[in-house]
Structure 1
Amino acid sequence: MFTDPQRAAGHPFRIRYAARATMQDEPLLAAFAIGHGPADVAALRLPLPIHEGGICQELWQVTGPVTRRVAYGAQITEDGQLLAATWTLDEAEHGGIEAAAEAVYRQIAELTADSGYPHLVKVWHYLGAINETPDDGGRDDERYRRFCVGRAKALAPGQPLPAATAVGIQARPQELIVFLLAAKVEGVRIENPRQVPAFEYPRAYGPVSPSFSRAMLMPWGQLFVSGTAAVVGHASCHPENTGAQLRELVLNLDALVARAESLGGQRLVPAALKIYVRHRDDLAEVEALASRLFPIDCPRLTVLADISRADLRVEVEALYEPLRAKAAP
């Protein structure tokens, strides 16, 4: 199916988790300091407590070299194949979460139109109090639903939707952090046969449906998986059982990956996993269960964060790649 020449050169992108970045990690497209504690000042800080405590660096390694600049309100890094951009917005300066979401997505549209990297691969969103609703508001006033409205206002009709993650930062209620990966070549959007596409959710989930695809399969063989939870059809499952939700979402991952494998013609294996857990008391249970459900040699990070639906307790995002590439020296 894929004939792009980049495929022959191998994968241009890796995710690695480490206590700190070193010269051996270069070139880096992006670095994120996750957790609480001393961190590299060059890294974007994500205040998501990690299971082990302290700080973990999420490193986006590329084949390089990279160039850096500031434009479109973002910190931008590119290497000729891929572009990373990061925004941190004070919602108060935009009049709330809806307007902040619209503003950042208009900047994303300008960036992708002008930069030579027109194809969004995946977008990450971190917002405080994601499930909060004003005391005088209804369900449609929940912050995540207003975020979805703002994002939709900035999207062009019929615009291809990337993979995405949206979770809640418990420590910063009025800050919106957005970062993305964009490419010069287009990927194939993958939907999950066990789930209704998010962009087709019924009205019960908000004034507009969430604007993302379940995964993006790139021409060089990597699969970027959106935040995935225990949703079957469009309904949340096992609302009172964190372990059952994790097992259900693994079934969703398996079905999504099988769909991608059927299109790409290669067996895919996880190359990086980030697990978001709503309740601190569940962190140890989730980590222990994940060690049995996922390959032991796959880089994995478990963090504390709110999920976009109040009845969901755990979510996983992932990067998959062909088995042959993972085994290569």
Structure 2
Amino acid sequence: MDRRKFLQQTSLSAAVLSVAPASFLSAAPKPSAFRIAFLTDVHVKPTEIAETGMRKAYRHVNALKPSVDFIMNGGDSIMDALNASKEKVQKQWDVWNTVLNEENRLPIRHCIGNHDAWGWQMTDPAVKNDPLYDKNWVISQHKMPGRYYTFEHKEWKFIVLDSAQENNGGYIARIDEEQFAWLENELKKTAPSQHICIVSHIPIVSFCSAVFYDKNEANGDWKISRALLHVDSRRITGLFRSYKNIRCCLSGHIHMEDNVNYRGISYYCNGSICGDWWGGKFHDFDPAYAVFEFGKDGSVKREMVTYGSVV
């Protein structure tokens, strides 16, 4: 496609924003509430479609200012670092940083996605010994305080987990023992009056994980991969039962949307910016992001927003 025509077709202005019909986005947040945007699974790479799509998404959400306080990046910022050379990974991060610097004016927090980790599927010993191996590169790129951390915003505490761990050259969805002990301590020391939101790249509870594949197992069993849903979900949700101030859990990874209420906690899986990895819809879900409204009373509302993808 001609570049000029392509960019004309994908231009975006505040006057023509295509915000999906919503129950609360049309009005300013109440004084007792605040809003965040949850953008996940951008999977940007140095191609015209991916770069232009990321630009559109970030222009779109920035046009919602000042009603959105900050952006939560749900992970998988770049297409893939698991099995890519250092040069290819650097090019992906270059695109990410260029677009973010040029298009985003909102504060942003980050969560690590499995595709953000470098070298897990590579066998070269030099990669394993490189200081950027594993999650060191993504932590540095995002200037994160660590692979898991907390921050507070108004009456809420956000606990950001690191949910993808290396597993024999691949990855598995779980939190390691060190992180679980840290999570236990964070929950214990949080005042019961403070509302908690948990963020993880891979869902802790979701239905999307069960319908990611088009078919069940040959014997009829549902097929849920250890890479699609936390294998330690029972342990984590068992821990959560003791803390009534945990209001919601936010995730990405599946590129689909759901909202599961389990034991009084709302688990939201929040689609993706790239859809079918920049190939259009994924399982009928448009490329989109979520806007959450958090109330002083602990209430949570979500609206999914389609930003007008380039494919």
TM-score range (shorter-chain normalised) is: 0.3 to 0.5
TM-score normalised according to structure 2 size? 0.40
Higher relative contact order (CA 8 A, sep 6+): 2
